[in-house]
């Protein structure tokens, strides 16, 4: 009998529970055993494994977060972790893992298969949307919807007070969340590393809008955006603010707020932070999570493990593990050009 172990690794994203539900229900329908592994790879290291029943997945479809918990623990950064994982998989007679997670989790999953012959199917679940061979990762639609709603509300107060609103969003190494969240939310300027701009470019845009009678601006910036001229400003700002802020880590949002205000504009920073990962999943994320979960179990049933399932070109597809899918997927040039039409 096939026995599936489900775990969520990396960071949480809306829709994880919907996918856990689909995996479990499909597996039960195929007379497979299902084990829940708590807190990602850490749970597999620490033997935090529980048998699952239909009761465990009842009523969880609309819930954010993960009923199994999530952790960023990398099994290749903890001494002896891989051996513990292999021993616990053998102990619980797990025939295949289903890993839901981020790009880092995908890399760990592939390495576990390559080095320790641990069979698995990977489901991309990340608000960063930076995993290759899928157009959407679970949680991304919910996250860009969160950014969109935040920008909708900020437009009213920005217009009323004639302010420049700097909105810092997540995204890790790629700019997907800022790009699409800013696009559908009507941002007036978007800063992502795939399409770098100088501070001078930004100020030209703000000045132009004011000259046209648009007395406010919404600026969306990805959390790890690199603007080279800010390095020295970061140092100068800390010196100006004194000893209290000597070790304070100013984000790109803080620095832009400071710089723009120095140009004479009333400026405010809104860092959306973890609100982008929280909340209930959208209809699309619930659908995507369900379809990917069912597909993962079908692959295990067919003996076609060591694949990632994804949503590409409007269809559910599977991709064999390879070094190529371990690299980040960046915002393409054609989308960058579309975004700049609205600057």
Give the domain-ending residue among 277, 295, 315: 277
Position 26 scores a pLDDT of 98
Residues serving a catalytic function are: 128
Same structural domain, 21 and 40: yes
Evaluate whether residue 85 is within a structural domain: yes
Same structural domain, 59 and 94: yes
Position 278 scores a pLDDT of 87
Position 75 scores a pLDDT of 94
What's the mean per-residue pLDDT of the chain?
94
Evaluate whether residue 337 is within a structural domain: no
Same structural domain, 103 and 181: no
Q: What is the CATH number of the domain that holds 36?
A: 3.40.50.450
Position 191 scores a pLDDT of 97
Position 172 scores a pLDDT of 87
Taking only the tens place, the pLDDT of each residue in 166-178 is 999 999 889 999 9
Same structural domain, 164 and 87: no
- Provide the residue range defining the domain that includes 229: 143-277
Position 255 scores a pLDDT of 87
Evaluate whether residue 336 is within a structural domain: no
Taking only the tens place, the pLDDT of each residue in 158-167 is 999 999 999 9
pLDDT under 70: residue ranges of the chain? 229-249
Same structural domain, 160 and 271: yes
**CA–CA separation, 288 vs 277, rounded Å?**
17
Evaluate whether residue 208 is within a structural domain: yes
Same structural domain, 113 and 199: no
Give the domain-ending residue among 260, 277, 294: 277
Same structural domain, 129 and 153: no
Position 241 scores a pLDDT of 61
Same structural domain, 301 and 271: no
Same structural domain, 113 and 154: no
Position 231 scores a pLDDT of 63
Give the domain-ending residue among 253, 277, 301: 277
This prediction's pTM: 0.94
Evaluate whether residue 338 is within a structural domain: no
Contact 189, 343 (CB under 8 A): yes
Same structural domain, 257 and 294: no
Evaluate whether residue 343 is within a structural domain: no
Q: What is the CATH number of the domain that holds 179?
A: 3.40.50.460
Evaluate whether residue 335 is within a structural domain: no
Same structural domain, 254 and 287: no
Same structural domain, 150 and 91: no
Position 251 scores a pLDDT of 85
Evaluate whether residue 333 is within a structural domain: no
Number of domains in the chain: 2
């Amino acid at each position: 009998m096939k026995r599936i172990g489900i775990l969520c690794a990396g960071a949480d994203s809306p829709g994880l529970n919907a996918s856990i539900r689909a995996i479990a229900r499909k597996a039960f329908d195929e007379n497979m055993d299902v084990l829940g592994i708590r807190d990602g790879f850490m749970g597999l290291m620490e033997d935090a494994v529980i048998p699952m029943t239909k009761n465990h997945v009842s009523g969880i479809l609309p819930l954010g977060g993960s009923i199994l918990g999530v952790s960023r623990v990398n099994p290749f950064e903890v001494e002896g972790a891989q051996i513990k994982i292999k021993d616990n998989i053998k102990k619980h007679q797990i025939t295949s893992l289903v890993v839901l997670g981020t790009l880092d989790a995908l890399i760990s999953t592939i390495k576990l298969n390559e080095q320790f012959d641990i069979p698995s199917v990977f489901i991309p679940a990340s608000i960063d949307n930076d995993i290759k061979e899928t157009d959407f990762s679970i949680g991304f639609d919910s996250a860009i919807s969160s950014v969109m709603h935040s920008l909708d509300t900020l437009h009213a107060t920005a217009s009323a007070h004639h302010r420049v609103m700097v909105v810092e969003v997540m995204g890790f190494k790629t700019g997907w969340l800022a790009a699409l969240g800013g696009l559908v939310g009507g941002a007036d300027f978007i800063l992502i590393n795939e399409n770098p701009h100088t501070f001078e470019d930004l100020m030209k845009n703000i000045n132009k809008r004011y000259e046209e009678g648009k007395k406010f601006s919404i600026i969306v910036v990805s959390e790890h955006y690199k603007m080279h001229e800010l390095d020295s400003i970061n140092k100068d700002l800390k010196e100006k603010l004194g000893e209290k802020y000597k070790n304070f880590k100013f984000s790109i949002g803080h620095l832009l707020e400071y710089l723009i205000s120095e140009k004479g504009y009333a400026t405010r920073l809104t860092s959306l932070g973890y609100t982008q990962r929280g909340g209930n999943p959208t209809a699309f994320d619930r659908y995507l999570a369900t379809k990917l979960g069912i597909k993962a179990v079908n692959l295990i049933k067919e003996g076609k493990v060591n694949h990632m399932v994804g949503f590409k070109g409007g269809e559910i597809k599977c991709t064999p593990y390879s070094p190529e899918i371990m690299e980040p997927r960046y915002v393409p040039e054609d989308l960058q050009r579309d975004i700049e039409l609205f600057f």
